[in-house]
Amino acid sequence: MLSYIVPFLVLILVVVFIHEYGHYYFARKYGVGVTDFSIGFGKELFGWNDKYGTRWKICAIPLGGYVKFFGDRNVYSEADHKEILEKYSKEEQEKLFILKPLYQRVLIVFGGPLANFLLALVIFFSIYSFVGKDFTPAVINEVQKDSPAMTGGLKNQDVILEIDGNKVKSIMEVSKFITMSTGDVIDFKVKRSYDELILKVKPNIVQGEDGLGNKINKRMVGIKLGAYNNEVNHVKLGPAQAIYHAAHEVYYVSTSSLKYIGGMIMGKADTSQLGGPIRIAKISGQVATFGVIAFISMMAYISISLGLINLFPIPMLDGGHLMFYAFESVLGRPLSQKTQEGFFRIGMFLLLSLMFFTTFNDLKDLGLFS
């Protein structure tokens, strides 16, 4: 159990700290007073005050964090300007978030998700620069008899060029692209002799295990891969190439995650793979046994997920507040307090429903439900 908890705490502390620091950075940049910078919720375990009057603290429940602004009882409410102006002096008003121009409030809110994407970018850039990236072309060594691949027309010695429009730069990407596909069929672009062909393969959905031994529903096409000409091509990249491929990975993970979520909403993707803190803790502990590189790679993917989820237009998330600012920009004034409260109730319901669903999946993953 401890082998799961420690890596999970490290992962969560880093990813949440970076997210909250994104909010903090822009808040400080635009002169907003920050009274609290908390990692976790509930009772404070330890903390300290800095020279700007911010209380930095670690709290007992390490499942998130927050930055609290000066004078903030409802950070993103702007419906009570008159009351605010009467309550605070001119000097204090300069530090109030809700009196800042719209573009500054947008950047302060967007700063959290932005910091998560930048963390992932830095991690991928560092790995590609100092460890390297695999560019070994993927060739099919075997097509299993009566498999979806054989039915779809794939053959031995086909070199896989693209899967669902995604260029396959490495043998390592084939499994990733197949797993992230959500359509009934997967488009394979292959090179056969001197010809390039596009073949459609309808995968089988079978219950299996991932590389860590966790039960998952796998999309199987029935091929075995090998390195092209049996040559492994693993190279360290220069700064320009590293930043390009790092940015591409962040973009791919973000767009694929959105497509997968869209697939779940439409009933086409497997909702059983959606997990919460328990599953993250379990997987982070398992990944940590594979070494530092595997662990920080997972940290990058979790950071992207956190940044992406926070941009969903759900009140209580950063995206919900950005949605309010979009209304404010169009209407020329903020939404009324009553309207905002109505949206927040909807957001609370959606988040609680999501928490219940992911927790149920986590417990089922542990074998507590069949």
From CA 6, how far away is CA 281, in angstroms rounded? 9
The token pair that represents 330 in the structure block: 């169009």
- What residues form DSSP beta bridges with 210? none
Active site residue 20: yes
**DSSP readout, 68-95?**
EETT-SSTT--TTHHHHHHHS-HHHHTT
Q: Where are the alpha helices (DSSP H) in the chain?
A: 2-29, 81-87, 90-93, 102-130, 148-152, 172-180, 239-265, 277-288, 292-309, 318-331, 337-365
Identity of the residue numbered 298: M
Q: Cβ(61)–Cβ(311) under 8 Å?
A: no
Best CA proximity match to 296, nearest among 169, 126, 113, 174: 126
Helix (H) or strand (E) holding 201: strand 195-201
Choose the catalytic residue: 20, 92, 249, 341.
20
- Torsion, Cα 151 152 157 158, to 10 degrees, reads 180
CA angle, residues 299, 302, 306, in degrees to nearest 5: 135
For the chain, state the CA radius of gyration. 24
Active-site residue list: 20
